[in-house]
Amino acid sequence: MIHYSVLAVTPTSQDWQAGYAAAAGAIVAKHGGKYIARTDKHQYIEGAGPQPAVRVILEWPSKEAAIAFMNDPEYTPHLAARTKVLTANIF
pLDDT per residue as tens digits for the range 30-86 = 999 999 998 888 777 887 777 778 889 999 999 999 999 999 999 999 998 888 888
What does the alpha-carbon distance between residue 76 and residue 24 come to, in Å, rounded to a whole number?
Answer: 10
If you ran DSSP here, which 8-state letter would residue 33 be given?
A: -
The model's pTM is 0.84
65 vs 26, 29, 59, CA distance in Å? 14, 10, 10
Q: Looking at the structure, give the CATH architecture of the domain made up of residues 3-42+51-90.
A: 2-Layer Sandwich (3.30)
Which letter, b or e, does each residue of 46-76 get, where b requires 16 or more Cβ atoms within 10 Å of its Cβ? eeeeeebebbbebbbeeeebbebbeeeeebe
